[in-house]
């Protein structure tokens, strides 16, 4: 896997070949890499899902210990008393919240149970949920649900339990604010780097090129309309 150092400086070197007097810093290039890179990852996963009805774990991120919270008062999207977690990363945006691959919690002691002996949360949405219509649908600790509101994940069925954290597997976008070092791994696979670079250079070319008639050169370019000429009748006619 390539490092951000290689990807960022590769793009920066190329942009500076053309725009050597522009102020371009590493974070700006990282921003380009993250936005275009996330787009490429989403397109890649969309295509894969269309072909196979699955999405590879290649771009999956696991967050093993996301703490469950509650709030005593309503605030924005937060509802008092409901158990929730905040998404620990920015999700890629897929249909039916498919960016959330799974959410689980461990029953009993977290040390003595095998890794996959966990309870998985089923996905629902507030709009279509009719969870009390059938007994087998009823949210319970063995049959819990989650639903997504913005960047908040609410849980149903674990209200009366002492579960304090969940494990989440998410398809996440590249968050430039979460990159802590140039030597972090860039999740874009090598075969997409050329496409990433092409799109960033195109974006840079568009952003950095200012048409000459838009450059402020300090000259007064106000166009004064010419004085209206008064037509005189030809006396000979």
CB of 101 to another protein, least distance (A): 28
Among 7, 11, 12, 30, binds another protein (CB under 8 A): 30
Only one of the segments 101-109, 162-170, 178-186, 223-231 lies at the binding site for another protein (rule: CB under 8 A); that segment is 178-186
Residues 107-126 that bind another protein (CB under 8 A): none
Check binding of 216 to another protein (CB under 8 A). no
Check binding of 40 to another protein (CB under 8 A). no
Among 13, 22, 26, 65, binds another protein (CB under 8 A): 26
3-state secondary structure of 119: strand
Only one of the segments 180-188, 190-198, 200-208, 218-226 lies at the binding site for another protein (rule: CB under 8 A); that segment is 180-188
Give every strand in the sheet of 152-156, ordered side by side.
84-86, 152-156, 145-149, 122-123
Task: Report the C-alpha gap between 12 and 16 in whole angstroms.
Answer: 6
Task: Report the C-alpha gap between 77 and 69 in whole angstroms.
Answer: 14
Region class of 231: left (phi > 0), else alpha (psi between -120 and 50), else beta: beta
Residues 5-24 that bind another protein (CB under 8 A): 23
Pick between residue 151 and residue 184 the one whose CB is nearest to another protein. Answer: 184
Pick between residue 19 and residue 49 the one whose CB is nearest to another protein. Answer: 19
Among 181, 221, 229, 237, binds another protein (CB under 8 A): 181
CB of 9 to another protein, least distance (A): 11
Check binding of 232 to another protein (CB under 8 A). no
Residues 184-203 that bind another protein (CB under 8 A): none
Pick between residue 20 and residue 162 the one whose CB is nearest to another protein. Answer: 20
Is residue 83 within 8 A of residue 77, CB to CB? The reply is: no
CA nearest neighbour of 62 among 106, 92, 102, 121? 102
Angle among Cα 159, 161, 166 to the nearest 5 degrees reads 90
Contacts of 189 (CB under 8 A, 6+ apart): 1, 58
CB of 12 to another protein, least distance (A): 12
CA nearest neighbour of 92 among 58, 41, 56, 152? 41
Task: Report the C-alpha gap between 122 and 4 in whole angstroms.
Answer: 36
Q: Which residues bind another protein (CB under 8 A)?
A: 23, 25-28, 30-31, 176-177, 179-182
């Amino acid at each position: 896997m390539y490092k951000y150092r290689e990807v960022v400086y590769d793009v920066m070197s190329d942009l500076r070949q053309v725009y050597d007097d522009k102020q371009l810093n590493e974070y700006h290039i990282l921003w380009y890499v993250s936005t275009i890179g996330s787009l490429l990852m989403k397109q890649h996963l969309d295509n894969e899902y269309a072909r196979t009805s699955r999405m590879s774990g290649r771009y999956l991120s696991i967050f093993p210990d996301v703490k469950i919270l509650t709030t005593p008062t309503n605030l924005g999207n937060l509802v008092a008393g409901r158990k929730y977690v905040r998404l620990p990363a920015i999700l890629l945006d897929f249909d039916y919240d498919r960016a959330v691959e799974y959410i689980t919690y461990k029953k009993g002691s977290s040390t003595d149970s095998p890794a996959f002996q966990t309870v998985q949360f089923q996905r629902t949405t507030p709009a279509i949920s009719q969870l009390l219509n059938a007994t087998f649908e009823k949210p319970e600790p063995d049959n819990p649900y989650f639903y997504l509101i913005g960047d908040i994940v609410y849980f149903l069925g674990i209200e009366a339990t002492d579960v304090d954290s969940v494990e989440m597997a998410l398809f996440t976008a590249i968050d430039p604010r979460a990159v802590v070092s140039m030597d972090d791994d860039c999740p874009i696979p090598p075969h997409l780097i050329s496409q990433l670079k092409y799109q960033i250079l195109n974006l840079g070319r568009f952003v950095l090129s200012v048409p000459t008639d838009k450059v402020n050169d300090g000259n007064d370019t106000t166009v004064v309309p010419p004085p209206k000429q008064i037509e005189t009748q030809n006396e000979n006619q």
